[in-house]
Amino acid sequence: MTEVYRSAEIAAALANVDLTAAMEAAFLAYSSGRAVVPPVGELLFAEPPGEVHIKYGYVRGEPYYVIKVASGFYNHPALGLSSSNGLMLLFSQETGELKAVLLDEGLLTDHRTAAAGALAARYFAPPRVDAIGILGTGIQAELQLRYLAPVTACRRVLVYGRSEAAIASYQHRLADTNFSISGVPSTEDFGDCQLIVTTTPSAAPLLHSVSRGTHVTAVGSDTAGKQELDARLLAMADVVVVDSRAQSASRGEVFQAVRSGKLDMERVSEIGQVIAGERRGRQDAADISIVDLTGVATQDIAIARAVYERLTAAQPSSLT
Amino acid sequence: MTEVYRSAEIAAALANVDLTAAMEAAFLAYSSGRAVVPPVGELLFAEPPGEVHIKYGYVRGEPYYVIKVASGFYNHPALGLSSSNGLMLLFSQETGELKAVLLDEGLLTDHRTAAAGALAARYFAPPRVDAIGILGTGIQAELQLRYLAPVTACRRVLVYGRSEAAIASYQHRLADTNFSISGVPSTEDFGDCQLIVTTTPSAAPLLHSVSRGTHVTAVGSDTAGKQELDARLLAMADVVVVDSRAQSASRGEVFQAVRSGKLDMERVSEIGQVIAGERRGRQDAADISIVDLTGVATQDIAIARAVYERLTAAQPSSLT
Of A230, A218, A243, the residue nearest A295 (C-alpha): A243
pLDDT band at A186 (very low <50, low <70, confident <90, very high): very high
Q: Is B233 on the interface with A (CB under 8 A)?
A: no
Peptide bond preceding B39 in cis form (omega within 30 of 0):
no
Tell whether the model's pLDDT for residue A79 goes beyond 80. Answer: no
Mean pLDDT of chain B: 93
CB distance B43–A56 less than 8 Å?
A: yes
CB B174: neighbour CB atoms within 10 A? Answer: 18
pLDDT for A90 equals 98
% of chain A residues with pLDDT over 70: 98
Q: Is A176 on the interface with B (CB under 8 A)?
A: no
Spatial separation of the C-alpha atoms in residues B263 and A141, rounded to whole Å? 60
pLDDT for A316 equals 56
CB distance B56–A43 less than 8 Å?
A: yes
Over residues B273-307, the pLDDT tens digits come to 999 999 989 999 999 999 999 999 999 999 999 99
Tell whether the model's pLDDT for residue B82 goes beyond 90. Answer: no
pLDDT for B224 equals 86
Tell whether the model's pLDDT for residue B8 goes beyond 90. Answer: yes
- The residue of A83, A87, A105 whose CB has the most chain B CBs within 10 angstroms, and thus the best one to mutate to test that interface, is A87
Compare CB distances from B43 to A48, A57, A95 and report the shortest one's residue.
A57
Compare CB distances from A54 to B2, B36, B41 and report the shortest one's residue.
B41
Q: Is A64 on the interface with B (CB under 8 A)?
A: no
Amino acid type, B304 = A
Compare CB distances from B41 to A44, A56, A89 and report the shortest one's residue.
A56
Tell whether the model's pLDDT for residue B315 goes beyond 90. Answer: no
Ranges of beta strands (E only) in chain A are: 3-6, 35-36, 41-46, 49-59, 64-73, 84-92, 98-103, 131-135, 156-160, 180-183, 193-198, 215-218, 239-242, 268-270, 289-292
Spatial separation of the C-alpha atoms in residues B296 and B55, rounded to whole Å? 9
pLDDT for A158 equals 98
Contacts of A138 (CB under 8 A, 6+ apart): A199, A200
pLDDT for B316 equals 56
Spatial separation of the C-alpha atoms in residues A143 and B117, rounded to whole Å? 52
CB distance B65–A42 less than 8 Å?
A: no
Over residues A41-50, the pLDDT tens digits come to 999 999 888 8
Over residues B175-223, the pLDDT tens digits come to 999 999 999 999 999 999 999 999 998 999 999 999 999 999 999 988 8
Q: Is B317 on the interface with A (CB under 8 A)?
A: no
CB distance B43–A36 less than 8 Å?
A: yes
Q: Give how far the C-alpha of residue B166 lies from the chain's centroid of Cα atoms, to the nearest Å.
A: 21
Catalytic residue of the set B55, B68, B99, B226:
B68
* Measured CA distances, B268 to B243, B276, B287 (Å): 10, 15, 15
pLDDT for B314 equals 58
- The residue of A76, A88, A91, A99 whose CB has the most chain B CBs within 10 angstroms, and thus the best one to mutate to test that interface, is A91
Over residues A197-243, the pLDDT tens digits come to 999 989 999 999 999 999 999 999 888 889 999 999 999 999 999 99
pLDDT band at B73 (very low <50, low <70, confident <90, very high): confident
For residues B102 and A100, the answer to whether their CB atoms sit within 8 Å is no
Q: A155 burial class (0-12, 13-18, 19+ CB within 10 angstroms)?
A: middle
Query: Mean pLDDT throughout A129-149?
Result: 97
Tell whether the model's pLDDT for residue B92 goes beyond 70. Answer: yes
Q: Is B235 on the interface with A (CB under 8 A)?
A: no
Spatial separation of the C-alpha atoms in residues A265 and A257, rounded to whole Å? 9
Q: Compare all CA atoms of chain A with the CA of B101 and give the residue at the minimum distance.
A: A101
Spatial separation of the C-alpha atoms in residues B224 and A232, rounded to whole Å? 50
Looking at the complex, report in whole angstroms how far the Cα of residue B167 sits from the nearest Cα belonging to chain A. 28
Indicate which residues of A carry an active-site annotation. 68
Spatial separation of the C-alpha atoms in residues A171 and B257, rounded to whole Å? 68
Q: Give how far the C-alpha of residue B77 lies from the chain's centroid of Cα atoms, to the nearest Å.
A: 22
Query: Mean pLDDT throughout B68-75?
Result: 86
Least confident of A102-116, B63-77, B305-319: B305-319
pLDDT for B320 equals 41
Query: Mean pLDDT throughout A151-179?
Result: 97
For chain B positions 101-140, those within 8 Å of chain A (CB to CB) are 101, 103
Spatial separation of the C-alpha atoms in residues B42 and B61, rounded to whole Å? 28
Mean pLDDT of chain A: 93
pLDDT for B319 equals 47
Over residues B232-242, the pLDDT tens digits come to 999 999 999 99
DSSP state of B6: E
pLDDT for A314 equals 58
Q: Compare all CA atoms of chain B with the CA of A55 and give the residue at the minimum distance.
A: B41
Contacts of A312 (CB under 8 A, 6+ apart): A3
Tell whether the model's pLDDT for residue A320 goes beyond 80. Answer: no
Q: Is B57 on the interface with A (CB under 8 A)?
A: yes
- The residue of B10, B97, B107 whose CB has the most chain A CBs within 10 angstroms, and thus the best one to mutate to test that interface, is B97
pLDDT band at A315 (very low <50, low <70, confident <90, very high): low
